[in-house]
Structure 1
Amino acid sequence: MSDTADTALPPEAAPGPDGLPVLGSYLESTRDFFTFRDRVAREHGGVARYRVLGQDVFLLTDPDAIQQVLVTENEKFVKGELFQQQLRPILGNGLLNSEGEFWRRQRHLIQPVFTPRRIADYAEMMVDRTSATADGWADGEVRDVHRDMMGLTLDIVARALMGVDIRDRTPAIGAALDTVMEASAGGTLLDLLPQRLPTPSRQRMSEAIASLDRIVDELVDEKRQALRAGDIEPDADVVSALLTAEDDDGDRMAAEQVRDEVKTLLLAGHETTALALTFTLHLLAHNPEVEETLLAELEAELGDDDAGFDTVRDLEYLDKVVTESMRLLPPVHGILREPTEDVTIGGYRVPEGTPLSISQWTVHRDPAHYDDPLTFRPERWTDEFEADLHPLAYFPFSSGPRRCVGDRFALLEAKLVLATLLRRYSFEAVDPVDLESHLEASITTRPTVPVQMRLHER
């Protein structure tokens, strides 16, 4: 519940770290991103305040406060200036960062693309592409599974979007998206320079965005021509559906908007799933007893058959494994919001425009919600445990009206890929590096080192 404004304490009364003069907590919050947020929450509570370059930032890790922002009073909050600075140059006015009535219109147009019937149609393709990827591997070789999963999920989402094989373009798309994600991590003093001033990182970002725009424009134009020629049906794939979708007034998306939505779906549709797969394979490699239990389930439920849309629903332990992986190592580490009016959160007045940092990373690892939270334990996800868990103590896909539109697509893909790969190979961790100490906070939670594993054919 939202607190009443007449009893609210001023924002400066909220607890938090002192920080440095002028810079505040800028250096610590960027250089040691995850540790900083964990420490602030632990020492100052679920609604805490710190300063960055003279700007108040509220860190929210209390599930009630998060529920207020994302669900019960969501209409009072937008993604805000910080979020737009990160994503608008990349994704334009795509679904991920558009707001208000325009966002609602776009969501209405895109939602039918992710109905259960449409998602079921992608299942066989997901398994086929995963098998084709595994066919190119060899027993005993060492591979960077993060790189492999990025390539695989980009291939899958591109086929779902375009309905065609675009592997000749996926390396260029993947390289552009990688550059964008790496540049978005920031964290250097050069990032404090005015946006109009070029820096090496901004130059790389600009070139990557231009390359991505050019490729996507070409792909969309090819699809548009195929529709005009009658070579494909209007709902043959996601891009066809976007090009032919009409709102209640009979209007279609502008060409630039279609491009923005395709870029958004390309980025969101492969990056987070690739990370979920990478982290799950990493966790299984370090928890062989979990892998053994999972393999027994796959054998018992599938026999010699491939996993599919219908059969994957019977893989209950696989579901627990993916859920626990996304709890312990959430691909999206946090969410940004800003209030559009003065609000009261956790007893404190939060002025309009104040950045709110909502941390899945910290909430998912809070001992107040999870016993032994740093242990990978899929068995914790019983019906009883979930019934007692606060709904905003686990939110890898966000929550409320702006919950990820492709969450069911991503979960189906992750489960089908894992079921397919794990029956063919075991993955042995080669590099003893602690992965958690080599993660960076870009738009997503990214490894800064190769995640190397040796393949063992089963």
Structure 2
Amino acid sequence: MATTTTAQEIPELTGVPLLGSLLDLKNDSLGTFLKARRDHGDVVRITAGPRGARATVHCVFSAEGAQRVLATDAANFRKDNAFYQEIRESFGNGLLTSQDTDYLRQRRLVQPLFTRRSVDGYASAVATEVTRLTDGWRAEGHDSVDVVHEMTGLALRAVARILFGTDVEAAVGIVERCFPVLGAYVSRRGYSPRKVPRSWPTPGNRRATTAHEELYAVCDRIIAERRAAGTGGAGEDLLSRLVEASSDEDGGFDATELREQVLVFLLAGHETTATSLGFALHLLARHPEEQRRAHEEIDTVLGGRAPGADDLDALPYLTRVLKETMRLFPAAPAIGRRAVEATEIGGYAIPAGADVIVSPWVTHRHPGYWEDPERFDPERFTPEREAERPRYAWFPFGGGPRACIGQHFSMLESVIALAMILREYELEAIDTQVPLASAITLQALGPARCRLKPRTGAQDGRGAGGEVREGV
């Protein structure tokens, strides 16, 4: 990993004399990263902030570079930057932020709960929440909805039901209220060159502290009830299984560790899936031919019934729609690391201690890997075309030893929800463009409204009393 004497100096994105690229990053970080690659290539240095508080990030935009940072040389690129520290302080040191022996122990304890067989068992919980959502649309007479907003609510309820089981209602309202406050707080502090201590009684600190305490309290209460119930007494929800997770080598999770895992699953498990689902619906609403193909596949495979886990392999076009959505709208548009030792990527010297960013947002639009990269084209993800591209030309779930443990769950939930919604509705876009920003995850800054047009025969898969017949 050592830097060679032939390594080139990294080109720098030109900013303004006093603040560098601070305002560009603040106003449009995604556009700034795209400009950096377009103007300077696959490795670019960006500086931001006034002198004395100036931060420098080294952006790596090639698929090969992303593979180096996330996989090949993952041990040299750690989650030691300011942004991850802010997440730790707000959401705890769970799988998303832990490192070294803490991470390995947590991963070993949690991994058995995320095997394909285990995750497939949650398909009915996802279907229950999708049915609840579409029943509400009909009952309230909705002829249009903001699909990103609606999918955020759906994904939160689904992951909360899977985590908490019958306690879903106790948690959802608090998470809906507190997560946006803490997410904005983490993002603001993570990108700020200077920040006041969290202990100072500023309005922002007080709001974050209140949200933090409320969120921790509900998690601690539900966890205490599960632990008091004892082994075998709490049911089949994920929290019950986390309470029982243990091994001779790693022991089990204490109450604090359980809370930290729960908060990470709530954070990562609903915002990422909501982004994929919301923008998949919006893209299909803007592209009638692709939506027609999705409807044809759903009608052929499901015949009016609800999908189950066994149907995923039989719905390849829906899967391609979701993969293409995650290419255009990756839930984690930028991923940060900090270099331990000096190294070289793409012929450029990365110094020890450097903050490094790889960006799915940019790499997923790299003209070296994607023809007409802004065009929505699910056929990019046929097996043949996937095999032609470098492995890290597409990495919405990260990669390497820190790849998202919930990849299969996200795809399961997304395919089931997309199939159930499209089984009942045709969609037509009202808002053709949605303004975006990058925070902990990709954020829609404006509505993504779509008209809902009930499909003829959409109720054929529903039994008496409105229940859904599960797929087999």
- Pairwise same-fold verdict (TM > 0.5): yes
Q: Where does 1:281-300 land on structure 2 (aligned, <5 Å)? A: 281-300=281-300
Secondary structure of 1:59 counterpart = strand
Measured at CA, do residues 363 and 188 of structure 1 come closer, stay the same or move farther in structure 2, by a change above 3 Å?
Answer: closer
Q: How does 1:389-428 map to 2 (within 5 A)?
A: 389-428=389-428
Corresponding position of 2:63: 63
Matches within 5 A, 1:20-169: 20-53=16-49, 54-138=54-138, 139-169=141-171
1:345 Cα offset (Å): 2.1
How many Å apart are 1:384 and its aligned residue?
Answer: 2.0
Cross-structure match for 1:347: 347
Change (3 A) 1:411 1:84: same
* Alignment deviations for residues 269-320 of structure 1 (CA, whole Å, 9 cap, x no partner): 1111011111111101100110001100111111122111111211111111
- Aligned-partner residue type, residue 48 of structure 1: V
Aligned to 1:211: 214
Which of 452, 457, 465 is the equivalent residue of 1:455?
452
Cα drift, residue 246 of structure 1: 1.8
Is the CA contact (8 Å cut-off) linking 2:4 and 2:344 kept in structure 1?
A: no
Task: Give per-residue Cα distances to partners, 1:334-356, cap 9 Å, x unaligned.
Answer: 11011122222222332222110
Q: Residues 109 and 252 of structure 2 are in contact (CA less than 8 Å); yes or no, is this contact kept in structure 1?
A: no
**Alpha-carbon distance in 2 for matches of 1:52, 1:343:** 23
> Which ranges of structure 2 fall in alignment gaps of 5 or more residues?
456-472
> What secondary structure sits across from 1:427 in the alignment?
strand
2:463 equivalent in structure 1? none
Distance of 1:421 and 1:250 partners within structure 2: 42
- Looking at structure 1, the residues matched to 126 and 73 of structure 2 have their Cα atoms a distance apart, in angstroms, of 38
Structure 2 partner of 1:445: 442
Contact 2:272–2:441 (8 Å) recurs in 1: yes
Q: Contact between 2:342 and 2:352, CA under 8 Å: does it hold in 1?
A: yes
Tell me the secondary structure at the aligned position of residue 121 of structure 2: helix
Mapped contact 1:431–1:452 kept (Cα < 8 A) = yes
Match of 1:193 among 184, 192, 195: 195
Kept in 2, the 8 Å contact 1:426–1:456? The answer is yes
Q: Which letter does structure 2 place at the counterpart of 1:337?
A: R
1:224 pairs with one of 209, 222, 227: 227
1:173 is displaced (CA, Å) by 1.2
Change (3 A) 1:184 1:282: farther
CA distance in structure 2 between the aligned counterparts of 1:280 and 1:170, rounded to whole angstroms: 24
Distance 1:347 1:165 in 2: 54
Change (3 A) 1:144 1:420: same
Deviation at 1:71, TM superposition (A): 0.7
User: Secondary structure of 2:4's match?
Assistant: helix
The 3 A distance-change label for structure 1 pair 310 and 36 is same
Alpha-carbon distance in structure 2 between the residues aligned to 1:401 and 1:250:
19
1:308 corresponding residue in structure 2: 308
Distance 1:271 1:209 in 2: 18
1:70-116 Cα deviation digits (max 9, x unpaired): 11111111112223233112221111000111101101111111111
What's the secondary structure of 1:231's corresponding residue?
Answer: coil
Establish whether residue 374 from structure 1 lines up as the match of residue 367 from structure 2: no
Contact 2:109 2:247 in 1 (8 A): yes
Q: Distance between the aligned counterparts of 1:203 and 1:357, measured in 2?
A: 31
Q: Show the counterpart of 1:16.
A: 12
Q: Percent identity?
A: 35
CA contact (8 A) 1:60 1:357 kept: yes
TM-score, normalised relative to structure 2 = 0.90
Q: Flag the 1:189–1:367 CA change in 2: closer, same or farther, 3 A.
A: closer
**For residues 87 and 295 of structure 1, what CA distance do their matches in structure 2 show?**
40
Structure 1, unaligned runs of 5 or more: none
Question: 2:332 touches 2:441 (CA, 8 Å); kept in 1?
Answer: yes
Stretch deviating more after TM superposition (59-68 or 196-205):
196-205
Which amino acid in the other structure matches residue 377 of structure 1? D
| Partners of 1:141 and 1:455 in 2: CA distance | 5
C-alpha distance in 2 between matches for 1:8 and 1:218: 58
Moved >6 Å (runs of 4+):
187-191
Task: Check whether the contact 2:86–2:189 (CA below 8 A) recurs between aligned residues.
Answer: no
Does the Cα contact within 8 Å between 2:428 and 2:452 map onto a contact in 1? yes
Report the 3-state secondary structure (helix = DSSP H, G, I; strand = E; otherwise coil) of the residue aligned with 1:195: coil
Of 377-386 and 244-253, more deviation after overlay is shown by 244-253
Amino acid at match of 1:204: R
| Matched-pair contact (CA < 8 Å) for 1:8–1:344 | no
In 2, distance between residues paired with 1:259 and 1:189?
26
Name the count of aligned residue pairs. Answer: 448
Q: Is the 8 A contact 1:16 1:50 kept in 2?
A: yes
Name the Cα RMSD after superposition: 2.0
Contact 2:83 2:187 in 1 (8 A): no
Give the CA deviation at 1:187.
8.6
What's the offset of the Cα at 1:144? 2.4
Q: Is the 8 A contact 2:365 2:374 kept in 1?
A: yes
